């Protein structure tokens, strides 16, 4: 699916108040996940952040499948979100059923009907403090426009986290 510049602008405008407010972090992160889910027209989205013990934790998900898959990544220390976080780079898989990088994660995702993933680290002060990920039920190559859009949403998540005083002790 290709998204237009107008669709991206509209989604970012809906979240514009997050850039300048010091509101509730949990609510802001849920809004970012829901807006990402809608804009990408995907079957799941999630956001993970570092906790005070420097461990990635689930903080906002669109549904139970994503919640379970993010927990699985935490438990096994593998998956697209873990890789995006550790490598501080965008990570994608167009077909998780054929993906060999994550032997625990990929089959679990395919069993839950999620076939493709795009994950982007949330930046802060030269470190990653979390990850935003989108999941598709269809085999799906991710477009360059989609990749740039997800990066925009991760930057917004970073702004929201910092503005709310939830800085990671990196």
- Quick check: is 103 in a domain? yes
CA-to-CA dists, residue 63 to 1, 25, 66, 124, 142, angstroms: 21, 19, 6, 27, 21
What's the predicted TM-score (pTM) here? 0.79
Q: Percent of the chain having pLDDT more than 90?
A: 42
Per-residue confidence (pLDDT) for residue 31, from 0 to 100: 74
- Residue 49's nearest CA partner among 163, 159, 158 is 158
Query: What are 107-162's pLDDT values in tens digits?
Result: 999 999 999 999 999 888 888 989 999 999 999 999 888 888 888 777 777 766 65
C-alpha–C-alpha distance, residues 62 and 34, integer Å: 6
Three-state DSSP at 165 gives coil
Q: Left, alpha or beta for 79 (phi > 0: left; psi -120 to 50: alpha)?
A: left
- Residue 72: CATH number of its domain: 3.30.450.40
- Quick check: is 10 in a domain? no
**Structural domain count, the chain:** 1
- pLDDT of 166 > 50? The answer is no
C-alpha–C-alpha distance, residues 78 and 27, integer Å: 28
C-alpha–C-alpha distance, residues 148 and 95, integer Å: 20
Per-residue confidence (pLDDT) for residue 10, from 0 to 100: 64
> Where does the pLDDT of residue 14 fall: very low under 50, low under 70, confident under 90, or very high at 90 and above?
low
- Quick check: is 5 in a domain? no
Owning domain of residue 73: 15-163
Q: What's the alpha-carbon Rg for the chain, to the nearest Å? A: 15
- Quick check: is 63 in a domain? yes
Per-residue confidence (pLDDT) for residue 149, from 0 to 100: 82
CB distance 36 to 134 below 8 Å: yes
Please give the structure tokens belonging to residue 94.
């167009």
Query: What are 81-113's pLDDT values in tens digits?
Result: 999 999 999 999 999 999 999 999 999 999 999
- Quick check: is 8 in a domain? no
> Where does the pLDDT of residue 69 fall: very low under 50, low under 70, confident under 90, or very high at 90 and above?
very high
């Amino acid at each position: 699916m290709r998204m237009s510049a107008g669709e991206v602008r509209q989604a970012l405008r809906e979240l514009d108040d997050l850039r300048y407010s010091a509101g509730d972090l949990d609510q802001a992160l849920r809004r970012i996940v829901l807006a990402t889910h809608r804009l990408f027209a995907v079957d799941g989205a999630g956001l993970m952040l570092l906790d005070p013990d420097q461990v990635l934790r689930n903080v906002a998900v669109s549904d139970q499948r994503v919640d379970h898959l993010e927990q699985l990544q935490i438990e096994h220390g593998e998956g697209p979100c873990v890789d995006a976080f550790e490598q501080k780079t965008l990570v994608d898989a167009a077909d998780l059923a054929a993906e060999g990088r994550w032997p625990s994660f990929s089959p679990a995702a395919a069993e839950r009907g999620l076939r493709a993933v795009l994950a982007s680290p949330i930046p802060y002060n030269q470190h990653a403090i979390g990850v935003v990920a989108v999941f598709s039920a269809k085999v799906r190559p991710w477009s360059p426009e989609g990749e740039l859009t997800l990066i925009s949403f991760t930057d917004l998540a970073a702004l929201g986290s910092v503005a709310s005083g939830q800085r990671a002790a990196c």
